[in-house]
Amino acid sequence: MHRIDKYFFRMLLFLGSILVPFVAIAGAYEDMLKAVNQRDSVKVSHLLQRGMDVNTTDPMGNTLLMLAARNGDFHILEVLLTNSANILKKKQI
């Protein structure tokens, strides 16, 4: 590999490491709300690991924590709290 090719390749890897977290979030908002409402704790955990905000709210202003509590889903509550969900955040309207 030529020296320029190595430099270009390294630059692409660097830029990819910066941009991937932002790309991973694209479309994740709806996926997260769907996962919480479907009680899919594995998907919720996966989306949080990819960088989704644990304090995300739905269009009605309900946090993920509120939605999980309303569903009585203790597994998702545990996942959200383990990931530092804000228990003091109020409903936003």
Q: Can you give the pLDDT at residue 64?
A: 95
Ranges in the chain, pLDDT < 50 = 20, 22-23
Q: Can you give the pLDDT at residue 17?
A: 54
31 token code pair: 């996926």
Count Cβ atoms within 10 A of the Cβ of residue 2 and give its class: 0-12 exposed, 13-18 middle, 19 or more buried: exposed
Cβ neighbour number for residue 67 with a 10 Å cutoff: 21
> What are the extents of the domains in the chain?
25-93
The class of domain 25-93 in CATH terms is mainly alpha
Q: Can you give the pLDDT at residue 90?
A: 82
Q: Can you give the pLDDT at residue 28?
A: 77
